[in-house]
Amino acid sequence: MDAQAPGVHQGEAIVRVTRVLVTPADAAVAERREFRGVLGSQFVGVVKQITVPDSAPPSMSARKGWVGKRVVASPSIACALCDLCRAGLSAHCRARKVLGVWERDGGLADLVSVPISALHLAPDSVKDDAAPFAHLVSGALHAANMLRSEQKSYITVLGDSAAALVAAQVLARMNASVRVLSARHDRLRLCERWGVKHRPIDEPGRRQDQDVVVDCTGSAAGLGLALQMVRPRGIVLLKDPAALRPIPPGTKADLRGWADPVDLTPAVVNEVQVLGSRDGPIPDALRVLSEQTIDVAALVSKRVRLEDAPQALRSLAGETMTVLVDVGDR
């Protein structure tokens, strides 16, 4: 957070950060010690300087006028050159870098350098306190789009993280039969405020009657429970809140959340679809946030100044859902 001011490179912008959303996923990155840069993948700020190559297409050249504008960044930075990028799968770029997570500094600093292609204008109706939630909302919208064609009736969301509660709100806008199962009574009270059905996680039976189970626990226990609840030929959709770090081909994934074995027999016997779901388009999330139909303010456990962010990272367990770091209004 006391990192040296970033340099200006072709095709990049210098953003003065105003707010950063810090989640348990950021704490996990810090704990792994595999990333030596500046943390903070979810932030909003103001463009202070921008360098657009002369050869840039018109859509990119138009961003020269973004100096002084508020922006949100897509955390994942694609190379645009690999086979997956050329095939239209840039979200799964083989050389993907991730702001604040993998090979690119994040927003827990006064200034951060971001590729222009990753920046999106934040509407005036989306205030600084809400804009950093764009990434979480984009992931929930992506999950909803993956399920839209299925026209499912009964959906259960497992978990009590900010990602789970955002997903529940987004899915409940599309389907009245959405419920949240959580071990945290304070999180269930939030669902009551929003009009989202909810129950303690140890109450429901294992009747295999759910069309979709969205598991936001990122754990073997969560997947095992989901397989017990989903109906035959139903869908289990996995949304691990910490699933931003790329896993290059041939490398070993960090499986600490999946240390316990999972019996996949129910998936075979009941012909269950198990789908993975990560992040989605940031512009769609900003549009939803501008409508103010998703309550993100309730998901902030505490606010701190930038100098207190290291201590806040260490507190991201148990009682703390997210921390909003106030870097300052510029």
The domain spans of the chain are 12-129+300-326, 136-276
Q: What is the CATH number that goes with domain 136-276?
A: 3.40.50.720
pTM of the model: 0.92
CB 109 within 8 A of CB 17: yes
The Cα–Cα gap between 274 and 213 comes to 10
User: Along the 330 residues of the chain, how does pLDDT read in single tens digits?
Assistant: 444 567 678 899 999 999 999 998 898 888 888 788 999 999 999 999 999 888 888 878 888 899 999 999 999 999 999 999 999 999 899 999 999 999 999 999 999 999 999 999 999 999 999 999 999 999 999 999 999 755 668 999 999 899 999 999 999 988 889 999 998 888 999 999 999 999 998 877 778 999 999 999 989 999 999 999 999 999 999 998 777 777 777 777 766 677 788 999 999 999 999 999 999 999 999 999 999 999 999 999 999 999 999 888 888 866 678 999 999 764
Q: What is the CATH number that goes with domain 12-129+300-326?
A: 3.90.180.10
The Cα–Cα gap between 164 and 200 comes to 14
Going 73 to 74 to 75 to 80, the CA torsion angle's sign is negative
Q: Can you state the percent helix, strand and coil of the chain, rounding each to 5?
A: 35, 25, 40
Query: Cα–Cα distances in Å, from 230 out to 93, 163, 191, 226?
Result: 32, 20, 22, 6
